Amino acid sequence: MNNIIEVKKLNKKYKNLQAVKDLSFTVKEKEILGLLGPNGSGKTTTINCILSLLNFDSGEIKILGEKMTPEAYDIKRQIGVVFQDVAVFDELTVYENINYFCGLYIKDKEERRKYVEEAIDLVRLNEFKDFPPKKLSGGLLRRLNIACGIAHKPKIIFLDEPTVAVDPQSRNNILEGIKKLNQDGATIIYTTHYMEEVEILCDRIIILDKGEIIASGTAKELKELTNIEEKVTVEVDDLSIDIINELNKFKNIDEVIYDGHILYITFKKGKDNLLNLIEFMKDNKIKYNKFFSELPTLNDVFLELTGKELRD
């Protein structure tokens, strides 16, 4: 597949803060790329530089084989952007909002009408065409925001946290719509803090921190980077501090938490972790109600790579 976006040695500095440092990556045609990172990692700066919304200090950005600049209008017509903050006109109806944004790119009225109807179908807003935005729920408003950004059928779509603060039904609808856009040929750059969405949608993932790429690959490849082998959850009553201290001495233990009669144990990679735990509980006559083990998730990888401390 062709590289539809190329970023080479991108640098951006805000006074004493190096927001992006020697950043290089590509996005292939018809790929869904997950661009992840904690707050302040450089995601937004990177996207704004790619879109020529922000000047950068050095580097090169090409889109569709051409150098991207603020004046590259032919390229910009082939890009759709859906920012996290909903940006629609309160004075217009759902249909009128989508028609307006589509009209910035599609001048032919009949073609535009067709595109608007298809966008409404995609996000399932058919029953709400004549509603003003203030009459829509949060989930419907998010779907309207997406329709406004993609109605002109762009080749490249940037989606920034499109499912923030929506109910599960709306989230599923949005994710299905994104899959459909990709199946229809769109290349998508996707940012989110919901790791399960990344696993569902993304062909490849880049994790940024402090303006640099700290990991990249498929979800499976990233999971192989973690030192965690498995996470065990045990429902058990009245576990003494002595037992917890003994568990902490186990070989390959990463973390032991006992909270509200639930024991959480994280094991590093090693042999017979689960077997040794079961034998320990049997030897110490520890009775439990439920016991299950799970493999590390993408969220575990993300926290291991970027740290567990809170970010502003």
Both tokens assigned to 62 = 């090409």
The domain over range 228-295 is classified in CATH as 3.30.70.100: yes
HSE (side-chain half, CA atoms, 13 Å) at 151: 32
Q: Write down the domain spans for the chain.
A: 3-223, 228-295
The three-state secondary structure class of 54 is coil
Out of 3.30.70.100, 3.40.630.10, 3.40.50.300, 3.40.50.740, select the CATH number for domain 3-223: 3.40.50.300
Res 182: pLDDT: 97
How far, in Å, CA of 116 to CA of 51, rounded?
A: 24
Give me the sheet containing 187-191, strands edge to edge. Answer: 79-82, 156-160, 187-191, 32-36, 204-209, 212-217
* pLDDT cut 70: percent of the chain above it: 99
| CA 178 to chain CA centroid, nearest Å | 12
Classify residue 7 as exposed, middle or buried by CB count within 10 Å of its CB (0-12, 13-18, 19+).
buried
Q: How much is the pLDDT for 1?
A: 59
Query: Do 3-223 and 228-295 share a fold?
Result: no
C-alpha 203/C-alpha 199 separation (Å) is 8
pLDDT confidence of residue 312? 64
Question: What is residue 90's predicted lDDT score, i.e. its pLDDT?
Answer: 96
pLDDT tens for the 312 residues of the chain, in order: 599 999 999 999 999 999 999 999 999 999 999 999 999 999 999 999 999 999 999 999 999 999 999 999 999 999 999 999 999 999 999 999 999 999 999 999 999 999 999 999 999 999 999 999 999 999 999 999 999 999 999 999 999 999 998 889 999 999 999 999 999 999 999 999 999 999 999 999 999 999 999 999 999 999 998 889 999 999 998 899 999 999 999 999 999 999 989 999 999 998 899 999 999 999 999 999 999 999 999 999 999 999 877 676
The 10s digit of each residue's pLDDT in 198-225 is: 999 999 999 999 999 999 999 999 999 8
Residue type, 54: L
Q: Which two tokens stand for residue 115?
A: 């595109």
3-class DSSP state of 66 = strand
Closest alpha carbon to 99 in 118, 82, 84, 83: 118
What φ, ψ does residue 21 adopt, rounded to 5°? -130, 115
Strand boundaries in the chain, DSSP class E: 3-14, 17-28, 32-36, 58-63, 66-67, 79-82, 156-160, 187-191, 204-209, 212-217, 228-236, 253-259, 262-268, 288-294
pLDDT of residue 310: 67
User: According to the model, what pLDDT value does residue 260 have?
Assistant: 87
Residue 262 confidence (pLDDT) = 95
Tell me which H or E stretch contains 302. Answer: helix 298-306
CA distances from 33 to 159, 164, 198 (A): 10, 18, 9
Q: For residue 26, give the amino acid letter.
A: T
Distances in whole angstroms, Cα of residue 249 to Cα of each of 135, 156, 219 = 58, 52, 32
Tens of pLDDT along 98-123? Answer: 999 999 999 999 999 999 999 999 99
